[in-house]
Amino acid sequence: MSSVADAYDAMPYTARPRRSTHPDTLAVNGRLAGLNAPPITKCRFLEVGCGTGGNLIPMAATLPDSQFVGIDISPVQIELARAEAKALGLANLRFETQDLAAMDPALGQFDYIVAHGVYSWVPPAVQDALLALYRSRLTPAGVGYISYNTYPGWHFRGITRQAMLDRVAGIPGDPATKTRVAREYVRFLATAAPEPDMPYSHVLQSEADLIGSESDHYVFHDYLEDDNRPVLFREFAAHTGRHQLKYIGEVLPFPFLGGLAEEIVKLLQEMSSDLVDLEQHVDFLRNRSFRRTLLCHAAAATDPKAALGVVPSLLVSANARPALPDSEVDPDAAQDFIANDGMSISTRNPIVTAMLRAAFAAWPAAVPVSRLEQLVADRLGSAWTKDPGRARRILHQQLLDQYRNGMLMLNTHMPDFALSIPERPVAFAPARRAAATGTMVPTIRHFQQPLEPMDQFVLTRLDGTNDHAALATALASAVAGGTLEARPEGDPPAWVDLTLQRLAYTTLLEAK
Ligand SMILES: C[S@@+](CC[C@H](N)C(=O)[O-])C[C@H]1O[C@@H](n2cnc3c(N)ncnc32)[C@H](O)[C@@H]1O
C-alpha cells in the first residue's frame, strides 16, 4: 500500500459529522443555484477519503432509504468504519478500501459526492483523478463538495508547517512523538521570538494558539504530511473547468462581501470580471486559508437568479439566538442576534427580528416557510396584515440574506427526532455508541455535540428500557459511588429531567 495509506494507518484521522458535507446542505445550495438537485431522502451519496466513517455513519442512520458509500486508501480506517457500521446494523452503507484514482466502476454514479480534506493533501496526479471522478461519477443534476487549503492564508500557516517539518526531519519516531515535538517547537518559537510587536511574532503566536487548540491527528496530517498543496482559488476554479465542472458557490455561511463597507464592495465589483475573479479578490482581502466549494457539471442547468423562487419550498431553522429574551426587548432599540459560530447582527427590521425569534423559538424543529410566514404574521399583527404580499416578499428576501449571514439554516428535509421527552427515551444509536467511549457524539441533525459527564452517563443508558425513575436511581448510585460528580443544585430526578431536556434540545433523542 502507498505511503499515504501507511500514514493514515499509523494515525487514523477520526472522522466526525460535518454538517457542511450533509446531502441536505448540498441540496439546498444546489437548488438555490437553480440546479434541480435530487431529493436527499432517496439519493446515492459518496464520500471520498471517508477516514473512519464518522461523517457517513450518522448520515446513513437518519436517511435509511438513501445509499451511502465511503472509500479510503487506508485499510485500517476502513476496517474501523466497517466495524462501527456493522455494530449499528446499517444496511444502506458500505465502506471500501480503494484508491480514488482507481475507484471500482461497479460502484456506479452518485447524486452527491464529498471529499473533505483530500484535494490539498494528495499529489497533482491524484488531484486530477479526484476531479475526473467527480466528472464521471456525478449524476447530471448532482452536487459535489470539495474542501481545500488556499492562499494567501496558507502563506502564514506555511511558515509554521515549514518549521515543524524541519524540526522533526531527523527524528525517528511514531506520528504521535513527531506531533508532540513539533507542537512544542511552535510554542517555543512563539514565546522565544524577539521583538514581540513585529508582524512575524504575531504570526507565530496566532499559529501556536491555533495548533494548540487542534487535535493530534489534525496537526499531524495538516502540518507534518509530505503533501499539503494550498492553491489560489482562481487556480482551483481553472482546474475544475478543465474537468468540465462548474463552480456554484461555497458552503454557507461564508464570509464574502458581508461586513465590508459599501464603497469597498462597489470597488471590488468594478475590478472583477466574473464571480471567480470577485471571490479571488475577497480571498486576498480576507487572507483566506480554507474553502468548502460546491461544484456541478459544467453542462448542468443553473440560474443565478433562481434563489428567491426556491425559498418557499424550503424549511427554516435557527442558527442564531437573540441576545435578549422576548420579554426584555425594547421596541425602539436595535436587536442583536448571535450565531452559533459567534458572528452577530444588529437589526431594527421588524420582519428580520420576528423571523429570527420565531425560528429560535421553534428549535430544534425546522419549520416550512409557509408556517414561518404565519408565525411572523402573528408576531407582527397589523404591520403584516396591512400589506401581506409585500411583507411576504420582504420575508423571503430576508430568509436568503440571513441564511447568507449565517443567522438561519435552510433545509430541504428534516429527519424525525423527539420534541417532547418520552417516558423511556431512546438515544440516537450512533451517539449512544460514541458516548460509551468519548464525550463527542453525532446528533440527528448531523452536528458534533460535546457532552458533560452527566449527559454522557445518561445517554449511554437510553436504550428504551430505562424510565426516568431508573435513570435517577442509576445517577444517584454513581454519585454516591464517587464515579460521577453531583450537580450543585437539585436531586437525581431533577438532574434526569435537565439532562433529558438538553439531549432533546440537541436532537440526541429518537422520536417514538
Ligand atoms: C485529512 S483526511 C480526511 C478524512 C475525512 N474526510 C475527514 O474530513 O475527517 C484525508 C483522507 O483521505 C484519504 N486518502 C488520501 N489519499 C487517498 C486516495 N488516493 N484514495 C482514497 N483515499 C485517500 C486518507 O487515507 C485520509 O483518510
DSSP state of 40: G
Cα of 134 from ligand 1 centre, angstroms = 16
Same domain, 374 and 498: no
Final residue in a domain of this structure, among 224, 251, 266: 224
Same domain, 139 and 183: no
**How many CA atoms lie within 13 Å of 387's alpha carbon, on the beta-carbon side?**
6
pLDDT of residue 455: 97
Maximum distance among all alpha carbons in the chain? 75
Which residues of the chain fall short of a pLDDT of 70?
Answer: 1-2, 253
The answer to whether residue 161 sits within a structural domain is: yes
Same domain, 213 and 245: no
Same domain, 338 and 393: yes
Number of the ligand 1 atom closest to the C-alpha atom of 12: 27
The answer to whether residue 422 sits within a structural domain is: no
Number of the ligand 1 atom closest to the C-alpha atom of 114: 6
Final residue in a domain of this structure, among 244, 267, 297: 297
Cα of 341 from ligand 1 centre, angstroms = 26
Same domain, 287 and 326: no
Range of the structural domain that residue 82 is part of: 3-150+230-297
Final residue in a domain of this structure, among 189, 204, 224: 224
Cα of 71 from ligand 1 centre, angstroms = 9
pLDDT of residue 1: 43
Cα of 267 from ligand 1 centre, angstroms = 40
pLDDT of residue 2: 59
Number of the ligand 1 atom closest to the C-alpha atom of 129: 19
The answer to whether residue 302 sits within a structural domain is: no
Domains contained in the chain, number: 4
The answer to whether residue 305 sits within a structural domain is: no
- Measured at the CA of 103, the angle between CA 100 and CA 108, to 5 degrees, comes to 125
Same domain, 145 and 160: no
Cα of 50 from ligand 1 centre, angstroms = 6
Question: Dihedral of the CA atoms 336, 18, 25, 149 (nearest 10)?
Answer: 90
414 close to ligand 1 (CB < 6 Angstrom): no
Residue 481 CA to chain centroid, in angstroms?
39
377 close to ligand 1 (CB < 6 Angstrom): no
Cell of 142: 448532482
- Per-residue pLDDT of 343-386, as tens digits, reads 889 999 999 999 999 999 999 999 999 999 999 999 999 989 99
Cell of 206: 496566532
* Residue for grid cell 400589506: 387
